[in-house]
Structure 1
Amino acid sequence: MTIEQQEIKHSPWSLSQVSLWILIPLVLGILISLLIPRPAVGVIYLSDAIYYYSAHDIIQQLTAARNSAEIRAVVIVMNSPGGTVTDTESVYREIIALKQQKPVVTVIEGMAASGGYYAASATDYIFAKASSEIGNIGVIGTQPDKPAVYEDIYSTGPYKIWGMPRDSFSRELEMLKQGFLQAVKLGRGDRLKLSDETILRGEIYSGGDALRAGLIDALGSQSEAEAKAAQMAGIRHYTVKDMFDVAGLKETVVAPMGFFRKDSDGNISSYPAKAGLYLLYIPGLGDNQ
């Protein structure tokens, strides 16, 4: 019998016991890893105008992402012409709140115009397609009518019916325009290559032009946006989850009257159904003047 065989014979641990003690921690480690959820990148789809109903769904998803330990970063897939001032600002503020805790990346599919770009500018990084339509920074609204007297309508003040004088409307329009500009400058920072005057012209840029102007960070796909968000969050081997499901939303709520106006033939137009102030791109509006 060799010296090595004698040592094994007199050892208090057999080979099977040693193997068992190695195997047990390994099995336990695998079981624990299966119980711990993998980190995830949440995806939010904004494929509509931004108004009360669509904003409600988006805010629910942003809130769910902020409160979920499993969701480590978020990608917003954007295709929106913008919407109402108030609802756009609500979405913008919720994105800012989420960004303070987790990376948020936007990928622009068809369009991020006006309020759509307002919301996108709040995110950490923006991808787009070369053919995407981006920008249209500014505000549009319908000026109130001049006060008039109606025999069968009584009001307690000259602006009870119309809300405000025309000069007040103009001041509010200017205030909202400057707020939009500051939001873009804050979000894009040194990446922005356009002057204030150029930004406020309200132009629509293609993806390539928007990249050169600093309105976006790169041309890329949704999967590239997801990978970028994961990188910014410092996670690997992640899953991708639709935040609509994570937030427990069952179906998209549609406004009874719709956001856009219908023409005489029942076709949906690009005009909002109600008069007011909007962060909205209305294609072809100038052609009708």
Structure 2
Amino acid sequence: MLRQQFLQEIQASNLMIHSSGYEMLNHISNAIIDGTFTPEAIEQTILSTRGDIYLEKDDAGNPVNPFDSWTEGSIAIIPLTGIMMKYGYWWSYGVDDIAAIISMAYLSEKISAVIIKGDTPGGSTDSLFLLQEVLLNKTKPTYGFIDGMCASCGYIAFSYLDKIYAINRMARVGGIGVFARMIVPNKDNAYYRVVEVYPDESKDKNLPEREAIEGNDSKMKEDLSKLAIYYRDTVTSNRPGISEETLTGKVYYAFEAEGLGMIDGIKSLSQTVKELETLVAKRKEILSII
């Protein structure tokens, strides 16, 4: 069932992903189709400045807030790694799961701030929706820390954060752009033939995709342009100082991205944690005076 769901998500969603992630999606999709894919389950760790924690469920299957057992004042470090898919698969949480984890961090009285530790080439545009909602309504200081790459969908998500730091000068940032991918069976090697018939009453159904298969991609470009403009406007709204030249899909090194307003600096994770701890302490001091 997960195989079918994965292929459905890839087929139905437009993509915001770096080419490195695209090749992996291509490999997995082909392996699923030809029956050679062997899934490997991976447990992901959620980190806190006070120790390691894991996403758990109670006996009734309800999620347990993993942060409530930690010392007050902890900073949650939540991973956003690998290809971003809306739902969870064998190798990672889905982005909807990550959004739920961030929400639990905001709800827990033990968590003073959140760091989202990102190393992702991006992924499905549909994976962004719930995460956008959670980050748009964040209730605690939330920083992004780029540990490798933060591209496409990943950068759109990071644009909602209070600050973004990169681990070193050569971390990769950007890829603000969209494209669509369709799985079209090879006519020479396919094991089956797909025939589609559309009545006159439904002449526009799947028309952009049908025309693209025949070599005319103008309608799909028109549709993708609407999505590209939406995400471009999202980034410029979230980061008003960002340079316009960053909005056409190019990926930059961190030392370039800082000068273009894409990130707020280059720092180690410990330095990022220290800055947040100082910020939280100052806020508590101000609140105590009031």
Query: Smaller-chain TM-score range?
Result: 0.5 to 0.7
**Aligned partners of 2:84 and 2:124 also within 8 Å:** yes
Letter matched to residue 58 of structure 1: I
2:11 maps to what in 1? none
The SS at the match of 1:200 is helix
Q: Which consecutive residues of structure 1, in runs of 5 or more, have no partner in the other structure?
A: 1-35, 237-289
Is it true that 1:39 corresponds to 2:86 in the alignment? no
Deviation readout 1:194-245 (Å, 9 max, x if unpaired): 12xx123311110101111110001011122222222333379xxxxxxxxx
Is it true that 1:133 corresponds to 2:180 in the alignment? no
Is it true that 1:78 corresponds to 2:87 in the alignment? no
Is it true that 1:221 corresponds to 2:221 in the alignment? no
TM-fit CA distance, 1:152 = 5.6
**Aligned partners of 2:208 and 2:220 also within 8 Å:** no
1:5 maps to what in 2? none
What is the TM-score of this pair, normalised by structure 2?
0.59
2:17 maps to what in 1? none
**Aligned partners of 1:113 and 1:204 also within 8 Å:** yes
The SS at the match of 2:150 is strand
Deviation readout 1:21-68 (Å, 9 max, x if unpaired): xxxxxxxxxxxxxxx942111110111111122212211211101211
1:172 maps to what in 2? 223
Deviation readout 1:109-147 (Å, 9 max, x if unpaired): 1100011111111100010021111001111114799xx
Deviation readout 1:78-101 (Å, 9 max, x if unpaired): 000111111123322212222xx1
1:118 maps to what in 2? 156
Structure 1 pair 85–152 and aligned structure 2 pair: CA distance change class (3 A): closer
- Residues 253-272 of structure 1: pairs in structure 2 closer than 5 A: none
1:283 maps to what in 2? none
Q: Which consecutive residues of structure 2, in runs of 5 or more, have no partner in the other structure?
A: 1-69, 89-93, 185-192, 212-216, 284-290
Q: Following the alignment from structure 2 to structure 1, what is the Cα–Cα distance between the partners of residues 145 and 195?
A: 53
Letter matched to residue 134 of structure 1: V
Q: Following the alignment from structure 2 to structure 1, what is the Cα–Cα distance between the partners of residues 102 and 164?
A: 17
Comparing both chains, which one has the higher relative contact order based on Cα–Cα distances under 8 Å and sequence gaps of 6 or more? 1
1:58 maps to what in 2? 98
Letter matched to residue 83 of structure 2: A
Structure 1 pair 205–159 and aligned structure 2 pair: CA distance change class (3 A): same
**Aligned partners of 2:72 and 2:112 also within 8 Å:** no
For the pair shown, the structure with the greater C-alpha radius of gyration is 1
1:184 maps to what in 2? 235
The SS at the match of 2:129 is helix
The SS at the match of 1:232 is helix
The SS at the match of 1:83 is strand
Q: Following the alignment from structure 1 to structure 2, what is the Cα–Cα distance between the partners of residues 184 and 115?
A: 11
Structure 1 pair 134–153 and aligned structure 2 pair: CA distance change class (3 A): closer
Q: Following the alignment from structure 1 to structure 2, what is the Cα–Cα distance between the partners of residues 151 and 74?
A: 48
2:254 maps to what in 1? 207
Letter matched to residue 131 of structure 1: M
Structure 1 pair 73–235 and aligned structure 2 pair: CA distance change class (3 A): farther
TM-fit CA distance, 1:167 = 4.7
Deviation readout 1:154-205 (Å, 9 max, x if unpaired): 4442344557665543232111111111121122223x2x12xx12331111
| Percent of residue pairs bearing the same amino acid type | 24
Q: RMSD in angstroms over aligned alpha carbons? A: 2.8
**Aligned partners of 1:48 and 1:81 also within 8 Å:** yes
2:46 maps to what in 1? none
The SS at the match of 1:49 is strand
**Aligned partners of 1:44 and 1:75 also within 8 Å:** yes
**Aligned partners of 1:112 and 1:133 also within 8 Å:** yes
The SS at the match of 1:179 is helix
**Aligned partners of 1:39 and 1:70 also within 8 Å:** yes
More displaced stretch, 166-175 vs 80-89: 166-175
